[in-house]
A and B are shown apart, each in its own frame.
Chain A
């Protein structure tokens, strides 16, 4: 498998994000179940990571000097699988086996079953602790590698996230970058109604993190912020990315029902048209 083509070119990254969305929707429709909304909301961020920021070698997934990406919101597995497939970790044809019996593409990512998955996730609230442990280990090793960890906004209601936030602040883990996908929705409704998480920025600040607040769909801003975050020393960084759940397809955007619903064939057709499957 070829080494991933990475570029900082915004046009290139936007195009990759469009393809990523198409692949996510196709695989979800084929499997008939899975998480649409949260895969689409984080698609631009994860595209920017895999196609630009991460130092990684898909042909050598355990390369010692790689940067690590942890999908703490493990239900966005279709997004991770698509990014892995399109950057060459495994053959794209595997995407059609999502959630099928025996498939390495489990409903939530399994590190023992699929190359490129750093650690199994799916139970919310646990990823940042693991990311911290990696960051501590890399620091002991004097490794320049960085650790990226993507969390959901509903997910940060979990107490363990704040234990981990305290740990990263205490140990001044500047080799870690957390990203919170602020799509305002969780399963039972709006975060604001289910369990208010605001003020989010102040919380992270209070735990001794450096804050970036961005539009999580503005590719230029995402890329610039990922670069800026790398320059912050003595503190962990968190990117608070304002997003739209289901982004890219009008019938899914901001719709809480599509958190865990896969598109029907008809919905897929509408979606592909909007995403301009055959050229833009």
Chain B
């Protein structure tokens, strides 16, 4: 899969470091494996790309390559969890959630099995591989499942904490990671908790609810908006399920507009979750930034983000257009 990215990792908590979330995962997983013997890892012939290869090298006995068979991988992970191990099963997001959706539903969620699905290569920043490899629907697919926890970390630092946290949590979890390097956004004193959003600030005019790579875009948008006299807040909703409704209500009650921003379809993901909750509990204008019911395409990640309207400028434009009305 594409070019090999070098790793210039100094510390392994990734605080303040620009790193692909999948790289943070690979490192975090190998370290977790050292601390926790119960951790086992499965992959479907993509361990070099998902970075589980690092774990495989360190703990060959606890790594199972399942070959190109995602459905079997999910079932096997389920069985492994039933003997007391903590399986992490990884492949690309579209194959993990798409090919094996029913296995995830029937085997993992219905029996509430302790399996961690950590998928990489989500969203259009997959880049050149194009639409077939860019999952823009995975959050929707996972969010609809009873029992499932859905997490989209924003940077390497948060990813490392997410991996450590979900290993301690009992039950199925979906963690959505990316291929491309992303800037560090979370402050050094940040502590991830499942179901707890992080409030950078609450704005009086607009609050931007973002996750994944869009947190960084939201923070840039906040700066650009303040130059136009618009007071914007930014919230990192890294757990989409369960949704932090307390923060959502606070944000909605303090401002005139809510904007959601995600590297996913505007249907069924973060935008969907926020809209569902607020329309019932505190109706307020909502604008959803994300892909517009379309497939992705090949190209350089930065160019694709522009093409699909996922930049800070796109957020700014959406907000200013609303404010002008």
Q: Point out residues on A near B: beta carbons under 8 Å.
A: 68, 110-112, 118-123, 126-138, 140-141, 143, 159-160, 163-164, 166-167, 170-171
Could you tell me the distance between the alpha carbons of A133 and B81 in the complex, rounded to whole angstroms? 8
Q: Are A163 and B40 in contact (CB under 8 A)?
A: no
Proximity string of chain B (51-95) to chain A, C-beta cutoff 8 Å, 1 when within and 0 when not: 000000000011010110101111111111111110100000000
Q: Are B71 and A136 in contact (CB under 8 A)?
A: no
B132 in the interface, Cβ–Cβ < 8 Å?
Answer: no
Tell me the minimal C-beta distance from A232 to chain B in angstroms: 20
Could you tell me the distance between the alpha carbons of A130 and B104 in the complex, rounded to whole angstroms? 12
Given contacts A111-B111, A112-B111, A140-B61, contact A133 B78 (CB under 8 A): yes
> CB-CB < 8 A to A131: which residues of B?
79
Residues of A contacting B: mostly: helix
| CB<8 Å pairs between A and B, sample of 19 | A112-B110, A112-B112, A119-B78, A119-B79, A120-B106, A126-B107, A129-B75, A130-B75, A130-B78, A130-B79, A133-B76, A137-B80, A141-B84, A163-B69, A164-B72, A166-B69, A167-B69, A170-B67, A171-B64
> CB-CB < 8 A to B223: which residues of A?
none
Q: Are B110 and A133 in contact (CB under 8 A)?
A: no
Q: Point out residues on B near A: beta carbons under 8 Å.
A: 40, 61-62, 64, 66-67, 69, 71-85, 87, 102-103, 106-107, 110-113
Given contacts A140-B85, A163-B71, A164-B72, contact A134 B80 (CB under 8 A): yes
Could you tell me the distance between the alpha carbons of A121 and B62 in the complex, rounded to whole angstroms? 26
Q: Are B82 and A119 in contact (CB under 8 A)?
A: yes
Given contacts A120-B110, A126-B107, A130-B107, contact A137 B75 (CB under 8 A): no
Tell me the minimal C-beta distance from A36 to chain B in angstroms: 23
Q: Which residue of A lies closest to B66 (CB)?
A: A167
Could you tell me the distance between the alpha carbons of A128 and B40 in the complex, rounded to whole angstroms? 19
Q: Are B78 and A160 in contact (CB under 8 A)?
A: no
Q: Are A137 and B79 in contact (CB under 8 A)?
A: yes
Could you tell me the distance between the alpha carbons of A132 and B67 in the complex, rounded to whole angstroms? 14
Tell me the minimal C-beta distance from B24 to chain A in angstroms: 27
Could you tell me the distance between the alpha carbons of A134 and B103 in the complex, rounded to whole angstroms? 16
Other-chain contact of B111, A119, A128, A141, A143 (Cβ < 8 Å): A119
Q: Are A122 and B75 in contact (CB under 8 A)?
A: no
Q: Are A129 and B72 in contact (CB under 8 A)?
A: yes
Q: Are A160 and B71 in contact (CB under 8 A)?
A: yes
Tell me the minimal C-beta distance from A266 to chain B in angstroms: 36
Q: Are A160 and B80 in contact (CB under 8 A)?
A: no
